Structure 1
Amino acid sequence: MKANIRSIRKQRKYSEEFKRRLVSDFEKGKFSVPQLEKLHGVPHATIYRWIYKFSIFNESGFRVIEMKDSSNKKMKELEARVKELERTVGRKQIMIDYLEKMMEIAKDELDIDIKKNFGTPQSTGSGKTNKK
């Protein structure tokens, strides 16, 4: 015989401070609604309800809609930043290659070994040196 089991619906109670903090994070652009939903485990409909209730920008009769353009804009800004950093790394690599070539030319033509010479014995320390 099966037991009569009903699913118990759990209701969560959130403090007003928590609600306002989520709305504030959304308004400042720190997080999007889907990000807040994943981060705190609160349904997006509930977050939108809090936005309507607590937002300082919300006027009655207007609906708050999160534009995908803002997410796309952030993504494009990050991609631009990555490209800028890649260009910087490329310039640095060109400079390294140039300096290595100059050290090679100095060694071949001027007989100056700029790179560390591994055949040289190690220094014995900072002892007194004889002055002439």
Structure 2
Amino acid sequence: MSETFSKVEVITGVARRRRFTTEQKLLVVNETLQPGMSISYVARRHGLSPSLVFRWRRLMSEGGKEAVRADEEVVAGSEVRRLEERVRDLERMLGRKTLEVEILKEALDLARVKKPTLLSRSHAPEDIP
């Protein structure tokens, strides 16, 4: 009698998708790279869709190619989005500060123009009886 196994996974809660850690994904992808292993077989063993495992392999290979091409580390998309948002916030802040500086310069110029006029109208201390 052949040994067959079946796996039943019960998903509780309101989440519609399962979440996999990076370690789990790497384990599955590395298993598909073993000689004689097919992606469909590995996917069935782990209760996954073969298309998901193909996607993980493609992402891993593309990420590796990009890292080699750029001679840099691969950065997660979420990290890139977070940093881009930070840059936008800093640009907005810089714009506000630039506007404040312009307003202050104009106020200083106006004060300089008014100051000589005020000095010429005022009396020197020795002129006061």
Larger radius of gyration: 2
Higher helix content, 1 or 2: 2
Query: TM-score, with normalisation over the residues of structure 1?
Result: 0.35
Query: TM-score, with normalisation over the residues of structure 2?
Result: 0.36
